């Protein structure tokens, strides 16, 4: 297959490229880049005029629900959703059923991605057996078969000794530990942010301290052990401030924010109910501004979706019973461009960095780049395309998102993974 991407703005931080040029994909690699390339006979030509041609995007936080919860998502549908979101690679969390605490389940994920995937899949192994927080998973064996990091995402690992042990392993083997920060004693049975909205809806709240206390602990453990802590889905202004201070003090800490947390406040729960229920929850407008400031000044390194599919039946149970989480892969780029780039908080290049170079560095993957001879992992983004989200834009097996009906600007229009076209947007509708 040969594909000519014409007239795009090639934007690649790794090669310090920002130029209008044509690019040819052939035999899985970027075969040529020049001011003008003429199509060969029968060659597929994609017009990228007015569009950004970027290295393929990486989502470092998704839930593919495979093995065990494939009524919500599986590796085939989850990676299809990834491709539709402009992603060429995802890192998937270990809270499957069974947990990714055994090398054979890591191998299952890798095999399924290889045979049925539309994106590269990098599985994480769990920190503890069954995410129960009591017994360490076999980190070395998980790492040996391809786990790129460790996480008990969905919960915090409350046993400090287990955390120290996995961080020391990480320090020795250059492997990050991803942390979901939530003190269960403080969070209690909360289902949304603890504030005036939860009070008026008479729903139990999750105070910001539940998240912030564990951010503090994990920053201290990173500093003490030298192990790399990556803090997932930061939602509060004070959480950002704690991470900023820890980084200034030299702690080996990185952090991510999710599109819903820099776009919506807890007010969204009034309109969207369980479709706006996730953990950690949507917070206040001041917290949203704090997260955006953290993204702008680099305290928050990466943008990740926390793509968390659940079936309509599960999500229809009401705020108290419905599971936490919303899908995110397909709408990450439009939410990032609408809220952050068009909002004047990040440049195109900065937004791309948080979806390419930063996650790659944290995951110890090769730097995403557009370069002759390099693997053709490419995402084309139309920064001006405006679309009102409908269920047709969702490729996941699940539809749990509060953004259906929202008009968003800045969409991925073409995804190429290893030279294979994995997504092309067919219409603007
Ligand atoms: Zn989480």
Same domain, 29 and 69: no
For 426, the 3-state DSSP assignment is coil
Q: Is residue 300 part of a domain?
A: yes
Residues 356 and 381 in one domain: no
> Could you give the 3-state DSSP secondary structure of residue 121?
strand
Q: What domain count does the chain have? A: 2
Same domain, residue pair 101 and 193 = yes
Shared domain for 260 and 384, answered yes or no, is: no
Are both 310 and 419 inside the same structural domain? no
Q: Retrieve residue 377's tokens.
A: 């992992």
How many CA atoms are closer than 13 Å to the CA of 305, on its beta-carbon side? 30
- Identify residues whose C-beta is under 5 A from ligand 1, the ion: 153, 180
Q: Is the dihedral of CA 303, 309, 315, 320 positive or negative?
A: negative
Looking at residue 428, its pLDDT comes to 59
Domain boundary among 363, 382, 401: 363
Tell me the CA–centroid distance for residue 307 and ligand 1, in Å.
Answer: 10
State the distance from the centre of ligand 1 to the C-alpha of 279, rounded, in angstroms.
6
182 Cα to the center of ligand 1, angstroms = 9
pLDDT along the chain (429 residues), means of 10: 95 97 98 97 96 98 97 97 98 98 98 98 98 98 98 98 98 98 98 98 98 98 98 98 98 98 98 98 98 98 98 96 98 98 98 98 98 98 97 95 98 98 84
> Would residue 205 be called left, alpha or beta, if left means φ above 0 and alpha means ψ between -120 and 50 degrees?
beta
Residues of the domain holding 383: 2-53+373-424
Establish if 368 belongs to a structural domain.
Answer: no
Return the pLDDT at 159. Answer: 98
User: Is 175 in contact with 203 (CB distance < 8 Å)?
Assistant: no
Same domain, 8 and 77: no
Domain assignment present for 429:
no
Is 161 one of the annotated active-site residues of the chain?
Answer: no
Helix 208-225 to helix 160-173 angle (10° resolution) is 50
* 395 shares a domain with 346: no
Q: Respond yes or no on whether the N-terminal peptide bond of residue 80 is cis (omega within 30° of 0).
A: no
- Note whether 122 and 142 are within 8 A (CB): no
- Catalytic member of 22, 101, 218, 306: 306
Cα(325) to centroid(ligand 1), Å = 9
CATH number at residue 412: 2.30.40.10
Asked if residue 93 belongs to a domain, the reply is yes
Residues 334, 417 within the same domain: no
Domain boundary among 316, 338, 363: 363
Given 344, 363, 382, which residue is the final one in a domain?
363
């Amino acid at each position: 297959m040969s594909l000519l991407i014409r007239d795009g703005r090639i934007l690649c931080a790794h090669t310090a490229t920002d130029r209008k040029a044509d690019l040819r994909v052939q035999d899985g690699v970027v075969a040529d880049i020049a001011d003008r390339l003429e199509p060969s006979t029968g060659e597929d030509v994609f017009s990228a005029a007015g569009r950004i041609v970027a290295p393929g995007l990486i989502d470092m936080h998704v839930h593919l629900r495979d093995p065990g919860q494939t009524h919500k998502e599986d590796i085939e549908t989850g990676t299809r959703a990834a491709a539709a979101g402009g992603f060429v690679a995802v890192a998937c969390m270990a809270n499957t059923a069974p947990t990714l605490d055994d090398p054979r389940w890591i191998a299952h994920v890798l095999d399924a991605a290889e045979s049925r995937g539309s994106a590269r899949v990098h599985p994480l192994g769990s920190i503890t057996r069954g995410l129960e927080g009591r017994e360490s998973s076999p980190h070395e064996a998980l790492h040996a078969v391809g786990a790129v990091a460790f996480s008990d995402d969905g919960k915090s690992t409350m046993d400090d000794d287990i955390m120290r042990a996995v961080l020391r392993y990480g320090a020795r083997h250059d492997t990050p530990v991803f942390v979901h920060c939530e003190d269960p004693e403080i969070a209690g049975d909360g289902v949304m942010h603890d504030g005036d909205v939860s009070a008026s809806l008479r729903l139990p709240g999750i105070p910001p301290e539940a998240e912030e206390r564990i951010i503090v602990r994990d920053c201290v453990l990173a500093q003490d052990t030298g192990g790399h802590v990556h803090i997932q889905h930061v939602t509060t202004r004070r959480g950002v401030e704690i991470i900023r201070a820890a980084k200034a003090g030299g702690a080996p800490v990185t952090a991510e924010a999710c599109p819903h947390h820099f776009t919506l406040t807890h007010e969204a729960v009034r309109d969207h109910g369980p479709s706006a229920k996730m953990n950690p929850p949507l917070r206040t407008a001041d917290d949203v501004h704090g997260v955006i400031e953290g993204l702008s000044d680099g305290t928050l390194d990466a943008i990740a979706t926390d793509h968390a599919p659940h079936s309509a039946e599960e999500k229809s149970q009401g705020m108290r019973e419905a599971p936490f989480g919303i899908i995110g892969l397909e709408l990450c780029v439009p939410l990032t461009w609408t809220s952050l780039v068009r909002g004047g908080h990040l440049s195109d290049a900065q937004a791309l960095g948080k979806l390419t170079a930063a996650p790659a560095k944290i995951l110890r993957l090769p730097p995403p780049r557009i370069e002759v001879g390099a693997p053709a992992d490419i995402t084309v983004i139309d920064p001006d395309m405006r679309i009102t989200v409908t269920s047709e834009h969702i490729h996941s097996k699940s539809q749990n998102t509060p953004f259906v009906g929202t008009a968003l600007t800045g969409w991925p229009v073409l995804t190429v993974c290893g030279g294979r076209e994995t997504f092309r947007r067919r219409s603007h509708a």
